[in-house]
Structure 1
Amino acid sequence: MGQLNHSYVKERISAADEGTPEALYDLGLLYSIGQGVEQNNVEAHKYFNLASIRGMKSAQIDRAEVAEYMTAAEIAMAQKMAREWLSTH
């Protein structure tokens, strides 16, 4: 796990829960590289997908890059998680 202020991660999660595109994107970045959180491509893909839906063009590129390292089942899980997130936020 990377060295990052835990309060920063909590703040990004809180802002993401409010649907802030930049926070969703930041969480995608954090999960993709394991900075402040455990590295997790499924979570990264989910957050990049959500940020993309909210209009962040750069999230589309990063989502595609993360997907290169994922199985079809992992991508399907990330998409399912994104749909569930959207239904509750």
Structure 2
Amino acid sequence: MAIMGEAPATADILFQMGLDSACGRSGKTDLISAHKWFNLAAMKGNMEAARYRKEISGEMSAADIAEAQRSAREWLKLH
């Protein structure tokens, strides 16, 4: 999922993946994945992603947030 075709994932693509995870479009709502994608999108400059990440953080435990951050770091290492 890091590479969409030949081009690297854009902030907009990462943001959409966060929305999909937060809304459960692929099945079950996954706030950990949503936080990860919003975090990555925010790192690429999507300010709306930063707002969504902050909003869902209020619904997550510290352990869940830490897991999402670890997952984002792993994604960055691979891509």
For the 8 Å contact 1:30–1:37, the answer to whether it is kept is no
Matched, 1:57 2:44: no
**Corresponding letter in the other structure for 2:14:** L
Q: Could you state the TM-score of these two structures normalised by the residue count of structure 1?
A: 0.79
Counterpart of 1:69 in 2: which secondary structure?
coil
Task: Note if 1:29 corresponds to 2:25.
Answer: no
Distance in 1 between residues matched to 2:9 and 2:73, nearest whole Å: 13
What letter matches 1:51 in structure 2? A
Q: Distance in 1 between matches of 2:10 and 2:54?
A: 21
The alignment's C-alpha RMSD in Å is 1.5
Which structure features the higher share of helix residues? 1
Answer 1 or 2: which has greater strand percent: 2
- Name the CA distance, whole Å, in 2 between partners of 1:44 and 1:36: 12
Find 1:40's aligned residue among 9, 12, 30: 30
Q: TM-score, normalised by structure 2?
A: 0.88
Q: Structure 2 unaligned segments of length 5 or more: list them.
A: none
Structure 1: unaligned runs, 5 residues or longer = 1-12
- Equivalent in the alignment of 2:67: 77
Work out the percentage of aligned pairs sharing the same amino acid.
Answer: 38
The CA distance in 2 between the partners of 1:37 and 1:57, in whole Å, is 26
